[in-house]
Amino acid sequence: NAGVTQTPKFQVLKTGQSMTLQCAQDMNHNSMYWYRQDPGMGLRLIYYSASEGTTDKGEVPNGYNVSRLNKREFSLRLESAAPSQTSVYFCASMRWGNTGELFFGEGSRLTVL
């Protein structure tokens, strides 16, 4: 049982380049989330998808777009990467009725030069 799988695990970009972080879960969860984690700060929510077909902005959505491709997959896109987007990104999923128990991927470390 893979749980939540993120790719890539590491990526280095130049300012202005674009990229997509992929996330897939095999637990039949309804809700999926994208967080970023910066040193000395807790997780900050970028976007979330409460259910297939819906997406909503979180605390720090600027510079990002998301797609809930189907129930399993939720991707995060950086259209024009900036050094301020250097961070570790986590995808997570949650089953309805199990409030708050998030299942996380292993994280993706992104560096923007």
Partner 1 sequence: AQTVTQSQPEMSVQEAETVTLSCTYDTSESNYYLFWYKQPPSRQMILVIRQEAYKQQNATENRFSVNFQKAAKSFSLKISDSQLGDTAMYFCAFDSNYQLIWGAGTKLIIKP
Give the C-alpha separation, 97 to 113, whole Å.
42
- Please, which residue, 14 or 28, has the CB nearer to partner 1? 28
Q: Does 101 bind partner 1 (CB under 8 A)?
A: yes
* Exposure of 109 in the CB half-sphere (CA atoms within 13 A): 2
Q: How would DSSP label each residue in 40-91?
A: TS-EEEEEEESSTT--EE-S--TTEEEEE-SSSBEEEEESS--GGG-EEEEE
Q: Does 97 bind partner 1 (CB under 8 A)?
A: no
Of residues 24 through 43, those in contact with partner 1 by CB under 8 A are 31, 33, 40-43
| 12 close to 67: Cβ distance less than 8 angstroms | no
Q: Does 107 bind partner 1 (CB under 8 A)?
A: yes
User: Which residue in the set 5, 22, 50, 60 belongs to the binding site for partner 1 (CB under 8 A)?
Assistant: 50
Q: Does 90 bind partner 1 (CB under 8 A)?
A: yes
- Enumerate binding residues for partner 1 (CB under 8 A): 31, 33, 40-45, 48, 50, 58, 88, 90, 92, 94, 99-102, 104-107
